[in-house]
Amino acid sequence: MRDVAYHEPVSIGGALGILDQYGEDAQVIAGGTGLILGMKQGLPSAGHIVGLRKIPGLRGISRTADGGLQIGALTTHRQIETSANASDYCAAFPRSFAWLATIRIRNAGTIGGNLSEGNANYDPPTMLMGFGAQAVLVSSAGERSVSLDDFFLGAGKTACRRGEFLTRLLLPPQPSSFKWLYSKFRARSVVDSACVAVAAGLDLDGDHVVKSARIVLGAAGPTPIRASKAEAAIQNQRLTPSLIKEAGALARDASEPVSDLRGSADYKRDMVAVFTESTLEDLSNGK
């Protein structure tokens, strides 16, 4: 592991000053579960590491005046998993964090660090993209909001620029009639990253007609993928077994997985169809 200088500013302005001073040779650290492991494995890192943990106002989960949810970037996975505010916003959302690694990782890893790694195999990005969440980034030029649709640019790449960091997430209000589920398929062990994952939200009327649908695929390409054609196919339709099968096939077509130790690309595409179908079925059965 290379020698690095560790900085621990106590304000956002202090952190930005250090990031500006050292430019390409500076990067922030939050929970350290990703960065420290990478450094120990000899992956490239900056010479100046800027700790965010002493900066006030970067953690916590609160409801917004419009009925949405705000989550500080330094909030841990476990804090979200156990948050009454998060559960009140959408019960399936905090529950989805129980799928993430082990409780020790969930106690240390942060939502900001998770999203900033730009890893489509990770769990939170899929459902957050389905919600239409915004990432709020700060730099010495000021604040900007980026929709998660535009935040993930490719494997390991995000819209966060040098000299900038993620301060919070803003989740828009969800109609109470919208029900969500997150399904994660782990092919190897119960603490593994997803082989494929599906986050689906449906607004169904009493006759099982889909008033609105959102389907996002995780671990199915370089970024989380919105299965727009599958959403369109079920919109304003009664959710029958044959329609669910059609949606599964359209989600499969939208996926672009790669072969790795969690399965071949063909296998993962088939699993996208299977898990899209089972998630829609469960939602349709009121699970």
Ligand X SMILES: Cc1cc2nc3c(=O)[nH]c(=O)nc-3n(C[C@H](O)[C@H](O)[C@H](O)COP(=O)(O)OP(=O)(O)OC[C@H]3O[C@@H](n4cnc5c(N)ncnc54)[C@H](O)[C@@H]3O)c2cc1C
C-beta of 111 vs 239, nearer to ligand X = 111
Binding to ligand X by residue 105, rule CB under 6 A? yes
Distance CA 76, CA 109 (A): 6
Distance CA 197, CA 107 (A): 22
Rounded to a whole number of angstroms, the minimum distance from the CB of residue 130 to ligand X is 15
Binding to ligand X by residue 31, rule CB under 6 A? yes
Binding to ligand X by residue 198, rule CB under 6 A? no
Rounded to a whole number of angstroms, the minimum distance from the CB of residue 120 to ligand X is 10
Q: Which residues contact 118 (CB under 8 A, 6 or more apart)?
A: 152, 153, 154, 155, 156, 157, 158, 223
Of 17, 32, 60, 132, the one binding ligand X by CB under 6 A: 32
Binding to ligand X by residue 109, rule CB under 6 A? yes
Binding to ligand X by residue 19, rule CB under 6 A? no
C-alpha distances in angstroms, 228 versus 92, 200, 232? 21, 12, 6
Of 7, 9, 18, 33, the one binding ligand X by CB under 6 A: 33
Closest CA to 17 of 133, 113, 138: 138
Tokens representing 116 are 């900033």
Distance CA 116, CA 168 (A): 12
Q: Which stretch binds ligand X (CB under 6 A): 15-23, 110-118, 242-250, 257-265?
A: 110-118
DSSP for 115-158 reads: HHTT-TTSSHHHHHHHHT-EEEEEETTEEEEEEHHHHEEETTEE
Rounded to a whole number of angstroms, the minimum distance from the CB of residue 137 to ligand X is 8
Task: Fill in the per-residue mask, 66 to 95: x = in contact with ligand X (CB under 6 A), - = not in contact.
Answer: -------x----------------------
Binding to ligand X by residue 255, rule CB under 6 A? no
Binding to ligand X by residue 276, rule CB under 6 A? no
Rounded to a whole number of angstroms, the minimum distance from the CB of residue 125 to ligand X is 8
Size of the site for ligand X (CB under 6 A): 30
Task: Fill in the per-residue mask, 122 to 161: x = in contact with ligand X (CB under 6 A), - = not in contact.
Answer: xxx-----------------------------------x-
> Which contacts (CB < 8 Å, 24+ apart) does range 154-159 have?
154/118, 154/222, 154/223, 155/118, 155/119, 155/120, 155/222, 155/223, 156/117, 156/118, 156/119, 157/118, 158/115, 158/116, 158/118, 159/135
Binding to ligand X by residue 180, rule CB under 6 A? no
The partner residues of 214 in beta bridges, in order of sequence, read 201
C-beta of 33 vs 279, nearer to ligand X = 33
Rounded to a whole number of angstroms, the minimum distance from the CB of residue 187 to ligand X is 12
Q: Which stretch binds ligand X (CB under 6 A): 109-117, 147-155, 238-246, 251-259?
A: 109-117
Cα(first)–Cα(last) distance of the chain, in Å? 47
- What strands, in cross-sheet order, belong to the sheet with 26-29? 5-7, 48-51, 26-29
Binding to ligand X by residue 110, rule CB under 6 A? yes
List residues near ligand X by CB under 6 A: 27-35, 37, 52, 73, 100-101, 105, 108-110, 112-114, 116-117, 122-124, 160, 165-166, 193
